[in-house]
Amino acid sequence: MLGQEVVRAVLDDWRTAPVDERTRATLGFLEKLNRAPAEVGPADVTPLRAAGVSDEAAADAVHVCAIFNVIDRVADALGFAVPTAEEFARAARVLLVVGYRAM
């Protein structure tokens, strides 16, 4: 599990954060996918493969990215409330113990 310092570093600037090359390559790919999706093509997967990211892992990253984009747009459109850090932490503890069945 990533420490809070690493998470903060990634959020501040993934290019300089202390993460492995697979993660850095994936984050770069996802940034382009979010900012310029029409410009993403098969050649953009080459750096992922060179960093050791499997095609399955790259596909998983694309799927997670797409789902987050959809959820963000729905949440913005419907004005969802964002939980506080304490509420997120409490929910995370519950999920770690009992999984989603308790939610």
In a domain, 49, yes or no: yes
Judged on CB neighbours under 10 Å (0-12, 13-18, 19+), 51 is: middle
Q: Confirm whether 37 is domain-assigned.
A: yes
Classify burial at 6, counting beta carbons within 10 Å of its beta carbon; exposed 0-12, middle 13-18, buried 19 or more: middle
Query: Considering the domain boundaries, does residue 92 fall inside one?
Result: no
Using CA atoms, how far apart are residues 45 and 6, in angstroms rounded to an integer? Answer: 25
Q: Is residue 98 part of a domain?
A: no
The total number of structural domains in the chain stands at: 1
Q: Is residue 35 part of a domain?
A: yes
Predicted pLDDT at 2: 61
Chunked into runs of 10 residues, the chain (103 residues) has average pLDDT values of 82 95 97 96 96 97 95 94 89 84 58
The whole model's pTM is what?
A: 0.76
Q: Determine, yes or no, domain membership for 99.
A: no
Show the domain range for 49. 4-78
Instruction: Residue 20: give its domain's CATH number.
Output: 1.20.1290.10
